[in-house]
């Protein structure tokens, strides 16, 4: 039986992590390794984690390394043939791991597979059931989102991107591609990573017979200035890294259409911090290279605060 390492990253949301670990008890897959990465660690909850799920491996990082950095720490400790990345605000159906591993074994070219993701508070509503391909001129694609869920099926489909809240990646794909780029910090890091894995010849799929429930935006908050900053900054960073010559059309599209529209929306709504975050996220890309590790703006304090 192939070994599966489950990695989850916690940033001062211990109660959610405990619920997550308890949900793993019902998982029917036998050969599991569970790793919790404590980002920005300040509170010792090791005994509670181990009580919630015995034999949990716990990694402490006093510096908040973000989603990518935290998961990269976990990868370096993981011993599984497959790595299942799960947000700490998810709960996993008992058969999900089995379904994903079965498909991984069946399709040797497969590097990444995701379950469906439903909203925890509205379990009949889909958050993710696959992505459409990226429009490399506008940096836009579509995800099945806020749609009524149909009955679960065993169908497995090719998809353009994985969802970072729940994605299984083979050890071979990680070894060939390398780790996530850590300077994204939050958002777009999994899109960048999966795009690189796909370019290395590995397939990406979504399994409609496997699912998790997601509480969503526990760390950053829904619609927070923090989210505005990183989504703006990283959308541009992603295109700088991956779009080639098409990025110049995207830059024009962003300056003419995206930036004025969102800025006006925030100003009319008197959302001053969002407007500031939008501009700061865009300006970061004017001042920094694609490999810069500076988070920028007011959010550098996230690393240690």
- Answer yes or no: are the C-beta atoms of 4 and 81 closer than 8 Å: yes
Q: How many helices (H) and strands (E) does the chain have?
A: 10, 11
- Summarised one tens digit per residue, pLDDT across range 92-115 is 999 999 999 999 999 999 999 999
Q: Where are the alpha helices (DSSP H) in the chain?
A: 14-24, 46-52, 66-77, 96-106, 171-177, 189-199, 225-242, 247-253, 259-268, 272-287
Under DSSP, the state recorded for 257 is I
State both tokens at 252.
């024009």
Please report the pLDDT score of residue 278 as a whole number: 95
Question: Per the confidence metrics, is the pTM higher than 0.85?
Answer: yes
Residue 218: per-residue pLDDT = 46
Q: Which pLDDT does position 270 carry in this prediction?
A: 97
Closest C-alpha to 123, from 99, 91, 95: 91
pLDDT-flagged residues of the chain (< 70): 144-153, 217-222, 297-305
Give the model's pLDDT for residue 304: 46
Closest C-alpha among 78, 162, 175 to residue 128 = 162
Dist. CA 236–CA 21, nearest whole Å: 35
pLDDT the model gives residue 297: 59
């Amino acid at each position: 039986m192939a070994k599966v390492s489950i990695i989850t990253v916690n940033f001062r949301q211990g109660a959610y992590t405990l619920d997550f670990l308890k949900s793993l008890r019902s998982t029917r897959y036998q050969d599991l390794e569970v790793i919790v990465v404590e980002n920005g660690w300040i509170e010792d909850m090791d005994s509670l984690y181990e009580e919630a799920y015995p034999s949990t491996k716990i990694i402490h990082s006093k510096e908040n390394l973000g989603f990518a950095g935290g998961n990269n720490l976990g990868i370096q400790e993981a011993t599984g043939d497959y790595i299942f990345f799960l947000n700490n605000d998810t709960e996993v159906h008992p058969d999900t791991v089995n379904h994903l591993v079965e498909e991984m074994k069946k399709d040797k070219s497969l590097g990444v597979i995701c379950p469906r993701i439903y909203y925890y508070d509205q379990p009949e509503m889909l958050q993710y059931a696959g992505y459409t391909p990226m429009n490399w001129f506008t940096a836009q694609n579509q995800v099945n989102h806020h749609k009524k869920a149909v009955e679960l099926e065993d169908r497995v489909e090719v998809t353009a991107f994985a969802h970072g809240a729940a994605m299984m990646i083979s050890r071979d794909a990680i070894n060939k591609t390398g780790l996530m780029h850590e300077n994204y910090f939050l958002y777009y890091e999994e899109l960048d990573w999966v795009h690189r894995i796909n370019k290395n010849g590995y397939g990406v799929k979504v399994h409609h017979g496997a699912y998790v429930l997601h509480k969503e935006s526990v760390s950053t908050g829904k619609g927070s200035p923090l989210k505005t900053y990183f989504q703006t900054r990283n959308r541009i960073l992603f295109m700088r890294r991956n779009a080639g010559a098409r990025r110049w059309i995207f830059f024009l599209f962003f300056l003419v259409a995206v930036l004025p529209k969102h800025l006006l929306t925030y100003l009319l709504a008197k959302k001053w911090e969002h407007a500031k975050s939008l501009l700061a996220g865009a300006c970061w890309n004017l001042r920094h290279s694609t490999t810069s590790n500076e988070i920028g703006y007011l959010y550098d304090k996230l690393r240690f605060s």
